[in-house]
């Protein structure tokens, strides 16, 4: 069993920053996340997407923000259980909590911080016959390692930031990249759309608009996708090694819905004094929580994490006087 001071469920930016704030109070943290690497949505969906509202950074790529947060928390040596889902929470007689993952691994702590973003994410899948037959053998819904597609033929479907960003990224890695979109208008960032158009004119990628993938072909592995353009009755077959339907992820509360927490509109209700839930010792921070005036911004999640760890400290050390210290005076190693 892994023992710590705060179990953090969710390794997104808010969960990672919680480690820093807890570390300043000499509290140990262990993070659980269903994804195989830290970063949450920022690394899984749009690592190359620029973010503009992080204080002190006029612009920073999502993936770079996660890299910086990982460097920031490194002195506090957090533990990680990655690629596993937090399935259940049981409270012990002495008021601690045991969190068990889907592998059976147990974690125990007096505090839990749920920083699970919008919950457990599942890919939005297109309605194509025999789609499941080629999952993981030619069809990927998320890109974990771009090197997998080096010198391969790739077809991407989608019109949002994820589809645009990965098309632009993979065009310099893959043998060929074709972007298929069912409309002529894109939902992604205007700058990315312009880059797609420019790359198409230069012959760096193929773009098919008003087109949808309707059929799949192959044996043990995907070998081609059938594209149908609006107004046409004939399927156009595109030979490919990989088909990436990047239509985003659909959030679901998952096991969190069964933890006896007060839920409102698929979010956890909290007290804004310290972002505690209806169960003392369990807190919810970031996009997973809800309260009057809630704004789903990373910087707001940072604020919530800062206040939350103060109460987590007091639960462990009720008789200790907690005095705010400034990092500008003490540095990080001084805590």
What are the structure tokens assigned to 157, written together? Answer: 């479907």
What is the mean pLDDT of the segment spanning 33-46? 82
Are 227 and 261 in a shared domain?
Answer: no
| Per-residue pLDDT band at 83 (split at 50, 70, 90) | confident
Could you say which of 232, 247, 262 is where a domain stops? 247
| Per-residue pLDDT band at 120 (split at 50, 70, 90) | low
Secondary structure letter of residue 147 according to DSSP: G
| Per-residue pLDDT band at 123 (split at 50, 70, 90) | confident
Angle in degrees, CA 48, 53, 54, rounded to 5: 80
Are 134 and 94 in a shared domain?
Answer: no
Domain-embedded: residue 335: no
Q: CA 122 to CA 106: how far, in whole Å?
A: 24
Q: CA 312 to CA 97: how far, in whole Å?
A: 13
Number of structural domains in the chain? 2
What is the mean pLDDT of the segment spanning 145-158? 95
Are 76 and 220 in a shared domain?
Answer: no
pTM above 0.85, yes or no: no
Percent of the chain with pLDDT over 70: 95
In this predicted structure, what is the pLDDT of residue 151? 97
Are 118 and 263 in a shared domain?
Answer: yes
Where is mean pLDDT largest: 124-128, 139-143, 207-211? 207-211
In this predicted structure, what is the pLDDT of residue 216? 97
State the average pLDDT for the chain.
Answer: 91
Would you call 328 helix, strand, or coil by DSSP?
helix
**CATH assignment at residue 174:** 3.50.50.60
Are 17 and 117 in a shared domain?
Answer: yes
Q: CA 207 to CA 79: how far, in whole Å?
A: 44
Are 255 and 114 in a shared domain?
Answer: yes
Are 163 and 277 in a shared domain?
Answer: no
Residue 235: CB atoms within 10 Å:
15
Are 192 and 239 in a shared domain?
Answer: yes
What is the mean pLDDT of the segment spanning 117-145? 85
| Per-residue pLDDT band at 41 (split at 50, 70, 90) | confident
What's the pLDDT tens digit per position in 49-66?
788 999 999 999 999 999
Could you say which of 200, 218, 247 is where a domain stops? 247
| Per-residue pLDDT band at 118 (split at 50, 70, 90) | low
What is the mean pLDDT of the segment spanning 22-31? 97
Where is mean pLDDT largest: 18-27, 28-37, 136-145? 18-27
Say if residues 42 and 66 touch (Cβ distance below 8 Å).
yes
Q: Name the residue range of residue 257's domain.
A: 2-122+250-330
What's the pLDDT tens digit per position in 273-305?
999 999 999 999 999 999 999 999 999 999 999
- For CA atoms 127, 133, 138, 141, the dihedral sign is positive
What is the mean pLDDT of the segment spanning 312-329? 83
CA distances from 55 to 59, 151, 190, 225, 300 (A): 10, 39, 23, 44, 11
Q: CA 2 to CA 105: how far, in whole Å?
A: 8
Could you say which of 231, 247, 263 is where a domain stops? 247
Domain-embedded: residue 301: yes
In this predicted structure, what is the pLDDT of residue 329? 61
Are 89 and 156 in a shared domain?
Answer: no
Domain-embedded: residue 241: yes
Are 242 and 255 in a shared domain?
Answer: no
Stretch among 28-37, 118-127, 232-241 having the lowest mean pLDDT: 118-127
Domain-embedded: residue 317: yes
Are 112 and 168 in a shared domain?
Answer: no
Q: CA 124 to CA 137: how far, in whole Å?
A: 18
């Amino acid at each position: 069993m892994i023992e710590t001071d705060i179990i953090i469920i969710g390794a997104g930016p808010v969960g990672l920053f919680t480690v820093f704030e807890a570390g300043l109070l000499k509290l140990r943290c262990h993070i659980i996340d269903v994804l195989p690497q830290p970063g949450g949505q920022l690394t899984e969906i749009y690592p190359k997407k620029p973010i503009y509202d992080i204080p002190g950074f006029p612009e920073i790529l999502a993936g770079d923000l996660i890299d910086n947060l990982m460097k920031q928390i490194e002195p506090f040596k957090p533990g990680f259980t990655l690629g596993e889902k937090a399935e259940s929470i049981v409270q012990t007689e002495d008021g601690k909590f045991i969190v068990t993952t889907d592998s059976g691994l147990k974690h125990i702590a007096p505090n839990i911080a749920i920083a699970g973003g919008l919950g457990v994410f599942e890919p939005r899948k297109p309605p194509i016959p025999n789609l499941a037959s080629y999952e993981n053998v030619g069809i990927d819904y998320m890109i974990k390692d771009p090197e997998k597609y080096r010198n391969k033929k790739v077809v991407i479907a989608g019109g949002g930031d994820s589809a645009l960003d990965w098309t632009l990224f993979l065009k310099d890695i893959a043998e060929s990249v074709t972007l298929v979109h069912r409309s002529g208008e894109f939902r992604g960032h205007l700058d990315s759309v312009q880059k797609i158009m420019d790359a198409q004119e230069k012959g760096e990628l193929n773009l098919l608009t008003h087109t949808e993938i309707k059929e799949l072909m192959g044996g043990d592995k995907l070998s081609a996708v059938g594209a149908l353009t609006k107004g046409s009755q004939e399927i156009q077959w595109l030979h490919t090694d990989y088909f990436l339907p990047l239509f985003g992820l659909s959030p679901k509360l998952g096991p969190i819905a069964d933890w006896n927490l007060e839920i409102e509109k698929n979010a956890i209700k909290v007290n804004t004094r310290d972002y505690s839930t209806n169960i003392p010792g369990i807190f919810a921070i970031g996009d997973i929580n809800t309260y009057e005036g809630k704004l789903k911004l990373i910087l707001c999640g940072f604020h919530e994490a800062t206040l939350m760890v103060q109460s987590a400290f007091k639960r462990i050390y009720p008789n200790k006087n907690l005095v705010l210290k400034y990092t500008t005076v003490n540095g990080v190693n001084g805590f």
